[in-house]
Amino acid sequence: MTTVDTTGPDLAPSAGEGRRPAPPRPTRAGRPRDPRARRARRGGLTPYALLTPALIVLALIVGWPLVQLVVTSFQEFGRAQVFGAPPAWVWFENYADVLTDPVFHGVLVRSLAFAAACVVTTMLFGTLVALMMTRLTKFFRMLLSIGMLLAWAMPALTATVVWGWMFDTAYGVVNHVLVNWFGLAEYFQHSWLIDPLSFFLVAGLIIVWGAVPFVAFTLYAGLTQVPDEVLEAAQLDGAGGVARFRLIVFPYLKPIFLIVTILQIIWDLRVFTQIFALQDIGGIRALTSTLGVYIYQTSIAGGDFGHGGAIAVITAILLMSISIFYIRHLAKEEEL
Amino acid sequence: MTRTRLATVAYSAVSIVLFAFFVFPVYWMVNTSLQPNNEIRGSDLHFWPDNLTLRNYETVLFDPGRTPFLPAAGNSLTVTVLTVVIALVFAFLASVAVTRFRFASRRAFIITILVVQMIPGEAMIVSVFRVIDGWHLLNTIAGLTLVYVATVLPFTIWTLRGFVNGVPVELEEAAMIDGCSRAGAFWRVTFPLLAPGLVATGVFGFIQAWNEFIMALVLNARPEMMTLPVWLRTFLVANGTTNWAGLMAGSTLMAIPVIVFFLVVQGRMTSGLVSGAVKG
């Protein structure tokens, strides 16, 4: 979730599937074909005309900048170039600089470790909540659903600001409760954001809090597809709870589980808003920047578009190589 | 029996704790926003607004400080509505093309959409900034709208494609047998059935554009051109941690439309399709 991100394309309903009338008639080649495909027309230039507006926008705002990005990453492009000096071609120098820069190594390791921790926690927590939802009575399931919907709906930025307030050094509710209710005097005026480790603890909490609803709802929807008869049969055969989950529920859930995990990896590696805003509230930028924030700092704040471009290209390659799994899955699932 | 009942009670208890965990930040935001700022900075904690005041909202809305709220809200609304309308129209045309026609590069187009959807915006800020700057569209509604349309478009096309696919071609064919032209059949039969899908997709686009932060931060940094997320961040940086009550009031104002829309559309995405249009 991002932000943007709570709404992946997987929310797209695959309606119409399973509503196809009659078994497909074999075509002349003897191969059954999708009846929809049989009916659809080629339509000459019409489909291309329909695609034109979308393609123009994407070419202007995604295609052209993408070309620019790659070009810039091979150039020395600083403030002087922004004001009109011709950029010099340095080819792979920016990449060499970035890849040998210990600061970048720090950012990369931090991003990977943080994303890994967030993904594991989110998936574990989300799975447990989904499993629990199947055991709840209707009233309590509704209650929990409403709570999770509220958390899911919260914009990432406002969520970060609110959690930042809850963890405020002087007047935050967390410190107050820890000191006055639990008698932990060391948390009086405790700063959560100064120390990088506890900074990431708070950031992770914000991210997990916002991501668990999506995971739990999606997995719960998957769990309701597991046929009761199979579970009952297994129970009669003496399979305990753990065995039933491992042998029956998990195989059913596996495809959904995989795709949700991939989405979480992508979103958590891309995290920007939460880290950026928490740094505004009180973190030390140099010790807490992740990939997205580092790109912003190098290029926009620092004015070094050349190195910023190289970092951006490396980040994009890293993320797109993970996204391939997701795209392949969608393309297969939806029978393009 | 008693064991299962015990388990039910235990699960119910855990679900209440979880409910509290998910709701508390939202509650705390509203709660803080309704209290006087000097009170929330006292040594006592107020778990409910016992000295209820709307002063913070007044300050945020009407105080002509360095960071006025209303122009930012206006910018956000303008950009978001324009984005949704343009993206819906473009995406609708594209989704009709990929669902109702078989043309040579159809599959390639859908794959492209999926790939574009996954390109990380964080990596693109540098070059989008420079391209928009090159067209002299920095700090304009048009520039930001253009970027948002491109951001929202892949998701919108993909979702609408699912909805159009959900309307059986048989319905159109029946209308054509009754004398409609192909376009007429699509317009009179399929389009009305798509209304819930268009609404749902539009609302998701709205939420995406309304919440978008990083592009707005880079492209529309000038105070009078800010959108709400950038405004909130500026308010945060300008006041530091001195005006949490005001900050919470601003957060609430920004979050409310999103939360309302989100709750409304959540059910729509799964139901309200064309169920019943064609039997089994």
> Which of the four pLDDT bands, split at 50, 70 and 90, describes residue A24?
very low
Of A68-72, A161-165, A223-227, least confident by mean pLDDT is A223-227
State which H helix or E strand residue A75 sits in.
strand A75-76
Q: Which residues pair with A41 in a beta bridge?
A: B101
Q: Do A161 and B247 touch (CB under 8 A)?
A: yes
pLDDT of residue B68: 85
B245 contacts B35 by C-beta, under 8 angstroms: yes
Mean pLDDT of A276-300: 93
Q: From the list A15, A144, A331, which residue is nearest B166 (CB)?
A: A15
Residues of chain B with pLDDT under 50: 269-280
How far B23 CA sits from the closest chain A CA (Å)?
5
A115 contacts A268 by C-beta, under 8 angstroms: yes
> Can you read off the two tokens belonging to residue A19?
């509503």
**Whether the predicted pLDDT of A311 surpasses 70:** yes
Q: Do A158 and B254 touch (CB under 8 A)?
A: yes
Q: From the list B28, B91, B229, which residue is nearest A166 (CB)?
A: B28
Indicate the angle between helix axes B106-118 and B141-166, nearest 10 degrees. Answer: 130
> Can you read off the two tokens belonging to residue B195?
């209304």
Using CA atoms, how far residue A157 sits from A162, A196, B207, in Å, is 9, 20, 13
Of A15-24, A30-39, A154-163, B34-43, least confident by mean pLDDT is A15-24
User: Burial level of B44, CB count in 10 A (0-12/13-18/19+)?
Assistant: exposed
A210 contacts A218 by C-beta, under 8 angstroms: no
> What's the residue count for chain A?
336
Helix ranges restricted to H, chain A: 35-39, 46-58, 64-73, 79-82, 93-99, 102-135, 138-153, 156-166, 173-180, 196-223, 228-236, 241-244, 250-269, 273-281, 285-288, 291-295, 305-333
Instruction: Match domain A101-335 to its CATH number in 3.40.50.1000, 3.50.50.60, 1.10.3720.10, 3.40.50.720.
Output: 1.10.3720.10
User: Burial level of A236, CB count in 10 A (0-12/13-18/19+)?
Assistant: exposed
Cα(A275)–Cα(B130) distance, integer angstroms: 24
How far B193 CA sits from the closest chain A CA (Å)?
13
Q: Do B159 and A42 touch (CB under 8 A)?
A: no
> Can you read off the two tokens belonging to residue A242?
């753990």
Chains A, B: CB contacts within 8 A come to 338
**How far out from the chain centre does Cα A63 lie?**
23
ipTM score of complex? 0.89
**C-alpha neighbours within 13 Å on the C-beta side of residue A171:** 20
Cα(B3)–Cα(B134) distance, integer angstroms: 70
Of A80-84, A144-148, B150-154, B274-278, least confident by mean pLDDT is B274-278
With a CB cutoff of 8 Å and minimum separation 6, the contacts of A182 are none
Of A11-15, A288-292, B79-83, B198-202, least confident by mean pLDDT is A11-15
Of A111-125, A138-152, A318-332, least confident by mean pLDDT is A318-332
Cα(B213)–Cα(B232) distance, integer angstroms: 10
Q: Do B208 and A7 touch (CB under 8 A)?
A: yes
Report chain A residues whose CB lies below 8 A from the CB of B241: 168-170, 281-282
What are the structural domain ranges in chain A?
101-335
A293 contacts A113 by C-beta, under 8 angstroms: no
Q: Phi first, then psi: what are they for B101, rounded to 5°? A: -130, 145
Token pair 């778990």: residue: B47
Q: From the list B116, B122, B159, which residue is nearest A295 (CB)?
A: B122
pLDDT of residue A143: 94
B204 touches chain A (CB under 8 A): yes
Report chain B residues whose CB lies below 8 A from the CB of A176: 45
B164 contacts B95 by C-beta, under 8 angstroms: yes
List, for residues A171-206, the tens digit of each pLDDT value. Answer: 999 999 999 999 888 999 999 999 999 999 999 999
For B42: left if phi > 0, alpha if psi spans -120 to 50, otherwise beta; the answer is: beta
Nearest chain A residue to B122 by CA: give it.
Answer: A292
**Whether the predicted pLDDT of A74 surpasses 60:** yes
**C-alpha neighbours within 13 Å on the C-beta side of residue A21:** 9
Question: For residue B207, how many other CB atoms are within 10 A of its CB?
Answer: 25
Parallel/antiparallel/unpaired status of strands A75-76 and A88-89:
antiparallel
Report chain B residues whose CB lies below 8 A from the CB of A315: 120, 122-123
Q: Do A323 and B115 touch (CB under 8 A)?
A: yes
B150 touches chain A (CB under 8 A): yes
> Which of the four pLDDT bands, split at 50, 70 and 90, describes residue A61?
very high
B193 contacts B72 by C-beta, under 8 angstroms: no
User: Burial level of B220, CB count in 10 A (0-12/13-18/19+)?
Assistant: buried
Q: Do A171 and B237 touch (CB under 8 A)?
A: no
Mean pLDDT of A263-269: 92
Report chain A residues whose CB lies below 8 A from the CB of B112: 58
How far B56 CA sits from the closest chain A CA (Å)?
15
How far B67 CA sits from the closest chain A CA (Å)?
16
**Percent of chain A clearing pLDDT 90 (strictly above):** 58
